[in-house]
């Protein structure tokens, strides 16, 4: 068997003819292979057929042992045997074929051509080499998909949906993402760009933990030939296993790293930590913070390593700060993190912009979870009650309704704070209760704000709110909230979704028995007309 010779007649044939000849006699017509590989680079009209036909050819050569990727390539000297020369030639054709497939991801090819190339490459990747996949080829494929803007998004979705559940693919995917993030961090560029979005899709789609019945793409796990059962084992267990192997004369096999639960968890952790060190765009940053508590932390080997990232997010304030505080709350309650200033940081996040943002439903839900415990000191809870009361006076009606519901629930959970409602306001200059309020709204520490010495005079002001729904809803605070058996907490989730449009619609749908009218001897010509001032006590022109 010598090296295949080139044929001028073969060059003039169509891809279909070349493929048929190759399938009939792959040895005699082996010279069709480089011609077909050339057709991939030339963007032939039958490109998909060429890609699939060559994939079948090379898979057959891998199966019969003729082709061994990565093997030493002998030179084509006269003293080389025909078999070794043919094997070396076949190895070069295989390398050219995989290079052409990878080039489709960055050369302006159509989506169907890119998908065909990705399917062919994954077929070659999955051809087991001992107890592992061709992870070098897979790493190059994933790098092209994640970093090349010309790669169609359908290719990434295909890889994630089809292969990420396999143990070996999951492990090498996480390792590749970690390496790409580390290289990008060292490059000190302006930012990760589109790579951040693709990498986040990979990390969020990667299973948090490896299910016990998960298979492998190379097939050794299903075939019972898994050589990685001892990966990650303890020193004593490893020595015992080695003694047994020597006693029965079994040669130790090369163990696969992806078969170890510990190494899988380490790969997952390292990939996430490397990704979080990048300068992420704001929208990616918020998506990560939302995913950390439930989707990411359970799979990390040491969630406490997130502290630096969370601390930076918390310093930024706003909704992102509250999301970061949620993760810190989990670290405190479940992982032993010491964070004594937790409620002080939460107190600082309660701003007018925060409660009026489009995220206010999630914002109030998290704040409610943090203050749900009855073990929070009364002086701290009182500070939050006063803060919500002041915010209710300054924010719009939709947010004011939520603040009132929040005050109601805190008063019901903490009976010691009901003295804020029943304590009469101290005499103040010009009848202003706020002028003599001992509560220090500017104090950053809720424990030092003297809120428990104050009174909730904000209720009286809210009872005269310009919006009738707000002024009516304040009545929930006039109940005897110490009778827990006769009261229940207000559901602020529905109120948090309210808007000006919904409040106006609800007001217009009310059925009125009598319509109040006004009669003016002198028709008003402006809003603050002298003839109207009697209807607006406290106002002056």
150 part of a folded domain: no
Decide if pLDDT at 250 tops 80.
no
Predicted confidence band of residue 8 (pLDDT cuts 50, 70, 90): low
pLDDT value for 190: 62
486 part of a folded domain: yes
504 part of a folded domain: yes
Helices 318-334, 282-291: axis angle to 10 degrees equals: 30
Decide if pLDDT at 129 tops 70.
no
Evaluate whether 164 touches 205 at the Cβ level (below 8 Å): yes
Decide if pLDDT at 119 tops 60.
yes
Length of the chain: 541
Decide if pLDDT at 390 tops 90.
yes
Average pLDDT, integer, range 79-99: 85
Residues 6+ apart with CB under 8 A from 467: 397, 400, 503
pLDDT value for 434: 54
CA-closest candidate to residue 171, choices 148, 213, 138:
138
Decide if pLDDT at 252 tops 80.
no
447 part of a folded domain: yes
Please tell me the distance from the alpha carbon of residue 416 to that of residue 418, in angstroms, as a whole number: 6
Tokens representing residue 229 in the block = 């059962």
377 part of a folded domain: yes
**3-state DSSP of 279-325:** CCCHHHHHHHHHHHHHHHHHHCCCHHHHHHHHHHHHHHCHHHHHHHH
Cite the beta strand spans of 423-473 per DSSP E.
none
Q: What is the pLDDT of residues 170-219, one digit of tens each?
A: 999 999 999 999 998 887 666 678 899 999 999 999 999 888 778 888 87
% of residues, the chain, pLDDT over 70? 81
Helices 15-24, 47-64: axis angle to 10 degrees equals: 20
Decide if pLDDT at 249 tops 60.
no
- What is the count of structural domains for the chain? 1
Decide if pLDDT at 248 tops 50.
no
Which stretch, 229-238, 467-476, 496-505, has highest mean pLDDT? 467-476
Q: How many CB atoms lie within 10 A of CB 1?
A: 13
Specify the 3-state DSSP secondary structure of 59.
helix
Q: What is the pLDDT of residues 280-318, one digit of tens each?
A: 999 999 999 999 999 999 999 999 999 999 999 998 888
> Which of residues 447 and 519 earns the better pLDDT score?
447
Predicted confidence band of residue 43 (pLDDT cuts 50, 70, 90): confident
399 part of a folded domain: yes
Alpha helices per DSSP H over 371-509? 378-394, 397-413, 419-422, 458-463, 468-473, 492-496, 500-508
Evaluate whether 186 touches 274 at the Cβ level (below 8 Å): no
Residues 6+ apart with CB under 8 A from 475: none
367 part of a folded domain: yes
% of residues, the chain, pLDDT over 90? 38
481 part of a folded domain: yes
User: Rounded to whole angstroms, what are the CA distances from 293 to 128, 133, 203, 326?
Assistant: 37, 33, 14, 8
Q: What is the pLDDT of residues 521-532, one digit of tens each?
A: 777 777 777 767
pLDDT value for 310: 94
Residue in the structure block whose two tokens are 């909704």 = 319
Domain span at residue 491 reads: 340-508
Tokens representing residue 293 in the block = 């508590």
Predicted confidence band of residue 516 (pLDDT cuts 50, 70, 90): low
Please tell me the distance from the alpha carbon of residue 209 to that of residue 267, in angstroms, as a whole number: 11
pLDDT value for 231: 45
Please tell me the distance from the alpha carbon of residue 291 to that of residue 143, in angstroms, as a whole number: 24
Please tell me the distance from the alpha carbon of residue 230 to that of residue 255, in angstroms, as a whole number: 7
CA-closest candidate to residue 182, choices 143, 208, 145, 150:
143
User: Rounded to whole angstroms, what are the CA distances from 93 to 87, 102, 405?
Assistant: 10, 14, 72
């Amino acid at each position: 068997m010598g090296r295949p010779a080139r044929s001028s007649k073969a060059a003039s044939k169509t891809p279909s003819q070349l493929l048929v000849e190759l399938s009939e006699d792959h040895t005699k017509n082996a010279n069709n292979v480089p011609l077909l590989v050339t057709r991939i680079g030339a963007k032939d009209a039958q490109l998909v057929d060429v890609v699939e036909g060559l994939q079948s050819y090379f898979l057959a050569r891998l199966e019969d042992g003729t082709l061994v990727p990565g093997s030493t390539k002998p030179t084509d000297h006269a003293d080389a045997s025909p078999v070794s020369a043919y094997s070396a030639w076949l190895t070069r054709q295989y390398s050219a074929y995989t290079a052409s497939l990878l080039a489709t991801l960055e050369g302006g090819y159509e989506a169907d051509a890119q998908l065909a190339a990705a399917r062919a490459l994954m077929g070659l990747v999955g051809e087991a080499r001992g107890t592992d996949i061709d992870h070098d080829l897979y790493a190059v494929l994933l790098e092209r998909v994640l970093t090349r803007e010309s790669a169609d998004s359908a290719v990434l979705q295909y890889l994630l949906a089809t292969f990420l559940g396999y143990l070996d693919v999951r492990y090498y995917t996480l390792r590749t993402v970690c390496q790409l993030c580390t290289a990008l961090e060292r490059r000190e560029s302006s930012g990760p760009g589109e790579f951040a979005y693709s990498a986040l899709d990979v990390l969020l789609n990667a299973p948090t933990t490896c299910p016990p019945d998960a298979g492998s793409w190379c097939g050794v796990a299903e075939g019972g030939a898994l050589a990685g059962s001892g990966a990650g084992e303890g020193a004593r267990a490893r020595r015992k296993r080695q003694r047994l192997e020597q006693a029965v004369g079994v040669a130790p096999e090369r163990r696969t790293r992806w078969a170890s639960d510990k190494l899988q968890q380490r790969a997952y952790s390292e990939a996430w930590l490397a990704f979080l060190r990048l300068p992420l765009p704001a929208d990616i940053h918020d998506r990560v913070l939302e995913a950390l508590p439930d989707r990411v932390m359970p799979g990390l080997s040491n969630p406490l390593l997130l502290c630096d990232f969370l601390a930076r997010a918390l310093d930024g304030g706003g909704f992102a700060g509250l999301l970061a505080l949620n993760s810190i709350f989990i670290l405190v309650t479940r992982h032993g993190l010491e964070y004594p200033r937790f409620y002080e940081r939460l107190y600082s996040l309660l701003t007018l912009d925060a409660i009026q943002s489009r995220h206010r439903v999630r914002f109030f839900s998290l704040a409610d979870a943090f203050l749900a415990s009855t073990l929070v000191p009364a002086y701290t809870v009182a500070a939050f009650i006063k803060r919500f009361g002041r915010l209710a006076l300054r924010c719009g009606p939709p947010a004011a309704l939520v603040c009132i519901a929040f005050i109601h629930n805190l008063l019901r959970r903490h009976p010691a704070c009901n003295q804020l409602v029943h304590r009469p306001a101290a005499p103040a200059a010009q009848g202003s209760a706020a002028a003599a309020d001992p509560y220090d709204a500017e104090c950053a520490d809720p424990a030092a704000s003297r809120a428990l010495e104050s009174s909730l005079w904000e209720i009286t002001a809210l009872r005269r709110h310009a919006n009738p729904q707000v002024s009516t809803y304040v009545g929930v605070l006039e109940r005897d909230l110490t009778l827990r058996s006769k009261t229940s907490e207000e559901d602020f989730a529905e109120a948090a979704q309210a808007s000006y449009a919904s409040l106006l619609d609800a007001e217009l749908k009310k059925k009125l028995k009598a319509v109040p009218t006004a009669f003016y001897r002198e028709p008003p010509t402006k809003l603050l007309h002298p003839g109207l001032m009697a209807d607006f006590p406290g106002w002056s022109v």
